[in-house]
Structure 1
Amino acid sequence: MRRLAIPILCLMAACVPSTKNEVPGRNSPVATALPPMKTFATQRGGGVNRPNSQIAQDFLDLTFQMESGRPLPWLTKFEGPIKVAVTGQAPGSLEGDLARLLARLRSEAGINISRAARGEEAQIIVEAIPRKTLQKAVPQAACFVVPNVSGWSEFKRNRGNGKTDWTRLSNRKKATVIIPNDVSPQEVRDCLHEEISQALGPLNDLYRLPDSIFNDDNFHTILTGFDMLILRAYYSPELRNGMTRGQTARVLPAVLSRLNPRGNRASNAGANRTPKQWNDAITSALAMRTSQSQRAASAAKAVKIAQAQGWKDNRLAFSLFVQGRVTLGSKPETAISAFVQSGNIYKQLYGASVHAAHVNTQMAAFALSSGQLDVAIRLTDEGIPAARNSSNAALLATLLMIKAEALEASGRDEEARRVRLDSLGWGRYGFGSERNVRARLNEIKALAPRRVRS
């Protein structure tokens, strides 16, 4: 299940401290005509840089436990060719993104998967329904996958009984992916990647994974090289339906050695287990319906737990990132300190990654709001390549919009016009409707100081 994501930026007045004393006025809303939507013609999963011993532990934890914490007694997967059908009122962008995803699953994961012909039986059904209808049934989900049913109606009839219980499966014969049909093209694509991959393979998410969509931090939005390796191993002939965790653990090292020879090296101890208290604190901090004070307290608790655990990995960085997000409006000094620490950890671990780009987006928005135009431009320039390489149009558009406003406020009008035009094309994919694109553009416009006069 893909959880509802926190917005990329908290840009409303309640989230960004006022700078009225420093910046006397704001620019008026933008009336720029929107260009055609831009899309990512190619999507790259990237390499896998971790030792196979760590990947094996990740595979086992992903495969033999659900997100809820319920254990799965044995491995289950589809046998034979897998056909995918689309039902409901699918948005126009779905077909192209689905075709690209299935092509990647065939080439990178070695899975025999393709679109079902008209009238042909499908093993995976993708049904598109209104978001309101979806969330009435599963309030915290952006989209989800359910086994043993052939669509939304059958899911509703069998919800809560044993037929749709993943823990009772002995193999996989049918699954339905439920996605919203009235959201942005990027959100539809992201749901396809996460839910089809879970229909095929692991059902768990692990916050400790820095390079995977099997992670509820939602930094990665499409299947990565790590994810494709996990799925390739999942569908290797050595792994069969009904194998227990112990049986899988015995054959997995040889499978990974064959599929990922670069990973055949010694490693330091892998990441330790994540305590439930930390997961609960992060979940509470990200809960949009929780009070601001409770979210801030939960974020602080997550940071405290991460530090007490001695973590130096992405879990500490994400704890600090969340703390920055939820305290930006009430305690800007705490927020900026948290963002700086988070960004430093991400950069030390992964360089100019999509993780660091998310932090840079927050910092650049704050810099723009406080009139630090050169800083805003530098931070966006650092984040733009990672956003582009990770095929995250919403993040890319936001960074470009911030940069455009900083350029315009600096008097660099022609550069600002080009960058803004680029941002709008990506915004149409990342945010969806023209109304949503203009809303984001005008939110960022409202942060910018008036032009600096020479």
Structure 2
Amino acid sequence: MFKSVPLHNPLSVACTTSGRRALRLGVAAVAMGLLVGCGAPELRTTQRGTARAPSVLLDLPPMKLFSSLRPATITRSNTSIARDFMALSFQLENGTELSQFTRFDGPITLRVTGTAIPASLGPDLELLIARLRSEAGIDITRVAPNEDANITIETLPHAELRQRIPNAACIVAPNISSWDAYRHAGRADLSWTNVTKREKLSIFIPNDEAPQEIRDCLHEELAQALGPLNDLYSLTDSVYNDDNIHSILTEFDMLILQATYNPALRNGMSRAEVAQRLPAILSQMNPAGNRVSTAPYSPTPRAWINDVEAAMGAQPSSDARRAAATRAVNFALSQNWNDSRTGFSLFLLGRLSVGVDRDLARAALSDAYAIYAARSDTAYHGAHVALQLSAIALLDSDFNEALRLTNTAIPVARTAGNATLLASLMLTKAEALTALGRASEARLVRLDSLGWARYGFGSDEQVHARSSEIASLARH
């Protein structure tokens, strides 16, 4: 097990990324982490000048889209699900308690407005709406842009959104139906604590991000528009977690939303009233959960959350972010957590340490991988770490290890619908195959990755840039 890490002041390495929400800055590119965050600037400068995209990338194939999604399944007891439902539904992310339960009543309408609406938004939204109807039993329908609707999804340039809301790329706000209304609303008008019944709200999404980033915004913000407003770091199977591992609604999320709209619950209920009715609701909806034992639970202290948020933050000092990750690791170890919180702390520290201390990064990531691999509900977390470890393996010229790690993680990324992670793993695998003299296999894997890369990274320039960065790892 990873030992407590001494605080130190290593060489500075710039790490800047963009995220969907303020708390997620620095982990928005969590699938790439090492490759496009810490380490990439240093790795691009090589003696042989080989950090360039393979020639096969000159002509990119069409973008690939996920026609169906198979998210993580529920493996926990109804007792633990009820506990999480209450924590998610009666508290905001900043810790503010909510006095009453709220949701929409009756059929829900949704419209999409804005300029330059991305072509990928329509198919991704229709797939999500279909899942909400069939899996969560929510009566939600998309209507024309000029019709009144309960939920308005408005697209706008990222720069305009961030000018008004720094460090955020997409948000959900109550009581309004347009960006113009948001800009002119008072703080009290936008406060969730003043909402007694959900009738009208807006989701603001950038129209100039990669298709996967836009899809992930749809999933996360629509989930909170319809249901709980909080996030919990203890969750391993949900988008209601600011670790940004899961980016599409899981079976757990659909169960939470289904429970939210159960007829036994209604607007204005107190915490005690909801808690009294929830066990029967979950027992009816998820009978298998009655036969699962409840794992021990320990609350997540604010001190650890603050350090994790600082490690993922947008501050320019990579030293400060790395120090925060170190504190998070030490705190998790002091609590004897052997769960996803410790794994995520180690993951952050490893990802932020590659450019300054590869041995520390390798040790932290290896321990994170071991924690995730030991549990069936964190296989997807392990796939994220596998990408980081496979990139280090390329740096170490351990191409067989890079191949082993990517072969294990690729099917998991595909099942989870994460094109960014999938393309990155496939490009890493292609570099390992090339180095091992298996050029024809490498070419096929690389070609297959590019359609996913276009969905995950967006522009052709971004696809070329990411491929170049991965290539530089094997050719340094």
Q: How far does residue 24 in structure 1 lie from its aligned partner after superposition?
A: 6.5
The amino acid that maps onto 2:450 is L
Which among 113, 130, 155 is matched to residue 157 of structure 2? Answer: 130
Task: Report whether the alignment pairs 1:410 with 2:436.
Answer: yes
> 1:317 aligned to 2:343?
yes
Q: Is the CA contact (8 Å cut-off) linking 1:212 and 1:226 kept in structure 2?
A: yes
Give yes or no for the alignment of 1:113 onto 2:140: yes
Give 1:154-233 correspondences, 5 Å limit: 154-160=181-187, 162-233=188-259
Q: What is the match of residue 39 of structure 2?
A: 15
Distance 1:267 1:401 in 2: 41
Moved more, 284-293 or 440-449: 284-293
| Secondary structure in 2 matching 1:353 | helix
| CA distance 1:388–1:133, change in 2 (3 Å) | same
Contact persistence 2:53–2:465 (CA under 8 A) = no
**Alignment partner, residue 398 of structure 1:** 424
Structure 1: how far apart are the matches of 2:152 and 2:231? 22
Residues 354-433 of structure 1 aligned to structure 2 (within 5 Å) = 354-433=380-459
The question of whether the paired residues in 2 share the 8 Å contact of 1:54 and 1:270 is answered with no
Confirm whether residue 448 of structure 1 aligns to residue 474 of structure 2: yes
What is the aligned partner in structure 2 of residue 240 from structure 1? 266
Question: What is the aligned partner in structure 1 of residue 82 from structure 2?
Answer: 56
SS of the residue aligned with 1:141? coil
From 304, 314, 336, the counterpart of 1:288: 314
Q: CA deviation at 1:259?
A: 0.4
Higher relative contact order (CA 8 A, sep 6+): 2
Cα drift, residue 28 of structure 1: 4.0
Partner residue in 2 for 1:36: 62
> Which segment is superposed worse, 235-244 or 27-36?
27-36
Within the candidate set 101, 106, 110, 2:128 is matched to 101
Unaligned 5+ runs, structure 2? 1-19
Offset of residue 82 of structure 1: 0.5
Q: Which amino acid aligns with 2:185?
A: N
In the alignment, is the contact (CA less than 8 A) between 1:365 and 1:447 conserved in 2?
yes
Please give the alpha-carbon distance, in whole angstroms, between the structure 2 residues aligned to 1:400 and 1:276: 38
Count of residues paired in the alignment = 448
In the alignment, does 2:303 pair up with 1:277?
yes
Tell me the amino acid that sits aligned with residue 384 of structure 1. Answer: I
The equivalent residue for 2:102 is 76
Map of 2:50 onto structure 1: 26
Which segment is superposed worse, 388-397 or 329-338?
329-338
- State, as a whole percentage, how many aligned pairs show the same letter: 48
Deviations 1:355-405 (A, max 9, x none): 000000000011112211111111110110110010000000000000111
Amino acid in the other structure paired with 1:214: Y
Q: SS at the partner of 1:272? A: coil
Shift of 1:64: 0.4
Asked if 2 retains the 8 angstrom alpha-carbon contact of 1:387 and 1:395, the reply is yes
TM-score after normalising by structure 2: 0.90
- Superposition CA RMSD, Å: 2.0
1:266 offset after TM fit, Å?
A: 5.5
User: Under a length normalisation based on structure 1, what TM-score does the superposition of the two structures give?
Assistant: 0.95
2: CA distance, partners of 1:61 / 1:114:
29
What is the CA deviation profile of residues 32-65 of structure 1, one whole-angstrom value per residue up to 9, with x for unaligned ones? 2100001111012342110000000000000000
Q: 2:175 matched to 1:151?
A: no
| CA apart distance, 1:29 | 2.8
Deviation at 1:91, TM superposition (A): 0.7
Distance 1:6 1:395 in 2: 12
> Residue 275 and residue 414 in structure 1: after superposition, are their counterparts in 2 closer, same or farther (change >3 A)?
same
Question: Displacement, 1:14?
Answer: 5.8
Gaps of 5+ in 1: none
Matches of 2:406 and 2:365 in 1, distance apart? 15
Cα offset, 1:238, TM superposition: 0.7
Give 3-state SS (helix, strand or coil) of 2:169's partner. strand
* Cα deviations by residue, 1:131-180 (Å, 9 ceiling, x for unpaired): 011111222222110000011000111041x2211001110000100000
Is the 2:38–2:351 contact (alpha carbons within 8 Å) kept by the matching residues of 1?
Answer: no
Q: CA–CA distance in 1 between the matches of 2:42 and 2:308?
A: 27
1:339 aligns with 2:369: no
**Is the contact between residue 429 and residue 445 of structure 2 (CA under 8 Å) also seen in structure 1?**
yes
Q: CA separation of 1:133/1:18 partners in 2, compared to 1, >3 Å: closer, same or farther?
A: closer
